[in-house]
Amino acid sequence: MAELRAPRGTADVLPDESDLWLRVEETVRRVCRSAGYGEIRTPIFEHTELFERGVGAVTDIVEKEMYTFQDKAGRSITLRPEGTAPCMRAYLEHNLKGWPQPVKMYYIGPMFRYERPQSGRFRQHTQFGVEAVGSPDPALDAEVVSILVGVYRNLGLAGFVIHLNTIGCPRCRPRYKEALVQALAGRVEELCPDCRRRLERNPLRVLDCKNEVCREISRDVPTVFEFLCDECRDHFEGVTTYLRALELEYEVDPRIVRGLDYYTKTVFEVVHAELGAQDVLGGGGRYDGLAEDLGGDHTPGVGFAAGIERAVMVLKTARAASAGVGASAAAAPGPGVSVFVATMGAPARLEGFRLVQALRERGVSADLDHMDRSLKAQMKHANRVGAAKVVILGEEELRAGAATVKDMSTSEQSQVTLDRLEDVVSGGGHTEK
């Protein structure tokens, strides 16, 4: 039988990497909570209609990337490709407009898109994101940008750039789309097949095509700023004023149009050159029409989502660079423990087993050998798992009523009576020299 492998476009996060994931997740929770965002957990699958109406029927996501299936009762179900439409659905379904506004939510969880896998692009990926629903205030647009940046800064992740744009609203955008189509009319044949289709259905997307020829052709087209209505212009000015107040540097980039249909006014992406072709760490924007698309009352909102895999890729590169090539080769994968109890003989092992449990109950990470290793091999293993202290327990020690405690950084050894061992090893007492 062929060896079983994880499905294409999925990845395991093994214990030697999950510490980075936990760091990202803990940082997200801390930064979001500090800005008054509470966690929302929506289902992993939703009715397909939510995304057709929310994300938009003529988007790549809905046209070709959704994991859609019929459940046993014949309903069309889709594994969520993104988190904004579900959050808005939850807001409407639970009548959150009765809560103090805006309602600020954050989430961390898996998303599913049937895309062509490549570096930084998966079929199951994990996003963290925020949604602030219920207010059109441009300060909130700046706030969500600052939260995303705050997460990266707290992680020590540097070298990213904020790209900012506006795509207007249903009042001013149609005029811009018309102008775009006109400007490109003479060169339609030169555009890539995707852009020829986009020109008919969603001409803005021509602007973010990665194809060099398309980029060249769209270089001199008019920008959205010539077509914005007063409200959209004022709003964009507001966003930039608030971003400057936070001293957040950004580039106004007319090519940022985003691939989901619900956006109005502000759109932004945070880009990191180290990521290669899939260089967007995270992106988002305002979606003041989404609630109505889902059948609710007018409810403005703004938010972003960012891929954890991509953040981890950058963090891993930085970690490898700071550790130096080959420096981690000897270290064992996984979190390791701070105390290792090396034992010799069955009675000592039983005592060691009890000690390990007692230390764990005190919150000290501890372990002992499970591979029948010699004492020498146990000491080597303790070093590999990064133990700061090793307790050596053998028959002799048991007879004497005292164990040897070795400090692994100084190699100093001391004798500690068994009744004080727990206290001393967990940091609560002094060692006797």
Residues that bind ligand HAM (CB under 6 A): 82-84, 113, 115, 120-122, 125, 127, 129, 131, 260, 280-285, 287, 303-307, 309-310
Which element (helix H / strand E) includes 252? strand 251-252
**Which residue, 158 or 400, is less far from ligand HAM as judged by CB?**
158
Residue 245: CB minimum distance to ligand HAM, A:
22
What CA–CA distance (Å, rounded) separates 250 from 162? Answer: 5
Residue 217: CB minimum distance to ligand HAM, A:
24
Residue 163: CB minimum distance to ligand HAM, A:
11
What CA–CA distance (Å, rounded) separates 165 from 241? Answer: 14
Residue 234: CB minimum distance to ligand HAM, A:
21
Please provide the DSSP assignment of 378-395 as one string. Answer: HHHHHHHTT-SEEEEE-H
Residue 354 burial (CB count, 10 A): 12
Residue 211: CB minimum distance to ligand HAM, A:
19
Residue 63: CB minimum distance to ligand HAM, A:
14
**Which residue, 11 or 248, is less far from ligand HAM as judged by CB?**
11
**Which residue, 255 or 360, is less far from ligand HAM as judged by CB?**
255
Strand, helix or coil at 273? Answer: helix
Copy the structure tokens of residue 269. Answer: 């992406």
**Which residue, 82 or 253, is less far from ligand HAM as judged by CB?**
82
**Which residue, 287 or 340, is less far from ligand HAM as judged by CB?**
287
Residue 302: CB minimum distance to ligand HAM, A:
7
Helices 15-34 and 138-154 pack at an angle, to 10 degrees, of 140
Residue with tokens 């030697």: 16
**Which residue, 285 or 394, is less far from ligand HAM as judged by CB?**
285
Residue 380: CB minimum distance to ligand HAM, A:
39
Beta strands in 51-178 (DSSP E): 68-70, 76-79, 103-112, 124-133, 160-166
Strand, helix or coil at 285? Answer: strand
Q: For residue 344, which amino acid is it?
A: M
Which element (helix H / strand E) includes 413? strand 413-417
Give 244's contacts (C-beta < 8 A, 6+ positions apart).
none
**Which residue, 138 or 394, is less far from ligand HAM as judged by CB?**
138
What CA–CA distance (Å, rounded) separates 92 from 87? Answer: 9
**Which residue, 150 or 284, is less far from ligand HAM as judged by CB?**
284
Q: Do residues 176 and 157 touch, judged by C-beta distance below 8 A?
A: no
